[in-house]
Structure 1
Amino acid sequence: MSRASGGIPYTRREKGAAAEQAASLYLTSRGYRILEHNWRCRSGELDIIAEYEAGLVFIEVRSRSGSPQRGTAEESVDARKIRQVRQTAGVYLHQYQEGISQANISFDVIAVQLNADLSVASLRHIRGAF
């Protein structure tokens, strides 16, 4: 988990940015229209907000690098994180998408396994994750 030049480890922020970039490329290649990246308010942050098939999708991007012994990226989405994402999505909807039907909203997870050089080893998209 170090840079090719000098062995300096990548930061958590750099790893997260690499995973979110991979997720965005994946989503746009499948017809999603990205509306927001890293949208923030007092209750938290939404990694990606996108439109897909006339619906609004809130996408939580999780990543892991190195050994899978600490668990998978998707396993890191716990009940606390789900509550936080839903609450933050509620704030976003109130501010920007008041008229949207609940039937047109979904919460997805994209789990990215990164190699040591931050290239993508695997990417898993879990639609309707919560």
Structure 2
Amino acid sequence: MKEPYARERFNRKQKGAAAEDGAVQYLSTCGYKILDRNWRCRTGELDIIAENEGCIIFVEVRSRSGELYQGTPEESVNTRKIHQVRNTAQVYLHMKGYDDRRVTFDVISILLNEDLSIASLGHIREAF
């Protein structure tokens, strides 16, 4: 029998969606125009593609909930992830005809509360 005081558990997909929604809301309030979300191709997935001041910004959203035993969200962006995001961004730019646009890669790190509300949000511009 489930205990009445047991906290509700959310799966990885729900946590990721909550973090991405928070990132989109934050970017929108900062004046960014959201072009795409969760764009996929054979090389991988791009969390958020935005535009600001004529620049295309690829945003990798990383989140953690609970204790930080495995490190902070931004620490999870490793060399393999950077390589995958850059390759997928090249495909996106080519397919959308943005080959001549200035590009940056940002990381938004989010700590989630137990109810999936945002405890903190960090934005690292030109992260890689």
TM-score, structure 2 length as denominator? 0.93
1:120 matched residue in structure 2: 118
Instruction: Kindly provide the amino acid, as one letter, of the partner of residue 52 in structure 1.
Output: N
1:6-85 mapped onto 2 (5 Å cutoff): 7-85=7-85
Structure 1 Cα separation of the partners of residues 98 and 123 of structure 2: 27
Q: Deviations over 1:10-49 (max 9, x none)?
A: 0000000000000000000000000000000000000000
- Distance across 1 between alignment mates of 2:56 and 2:37: 14
* SS across alignment from 1:108: strand
Counting matched residue pairs gives: 125
Paired residue secondary structure (2:69): helix
Relative distance call for 1:87 and 1:29 in structure 2 (3 A) is: same
Distance in 2 (CA, whole Å) between partners of 1:70 and 1:18 is: 20
- Mark the runs of 5 or more structure 2 residues left unpaired by the alignment: none
Structure-2 separation of matches of 1:24 and 1:5: 32
Q: Give 1:97 deviation, angstroms.
A: 2.6
* 1:81-115 alpha-carbon deviations (Å, 9 max, x no partner): 000000000000110034423xx100000000001
Does residue 108 (structure 1) correspond to residue 103 (structure 2)? The answer is no
How much does 1:8 deviate? 4.0
SS at match of 2:106: strand
Q: Distance in 2 between matches of 1:73 and 1:86?
A: 19
Question: Letter of the aligned partner of 1:30 in structure 2?
Answer: C
Q: CA deviation at 1:6?
A: 6.3
Residue 68 (structure 1) shift: 1.3
State, as a whole percentage, how many aligned pairs show the same letter.
57
The CA RMSD over aligned residues, in Å, is 1.5
For structure 1, the 5+ residue unaligned runs are none
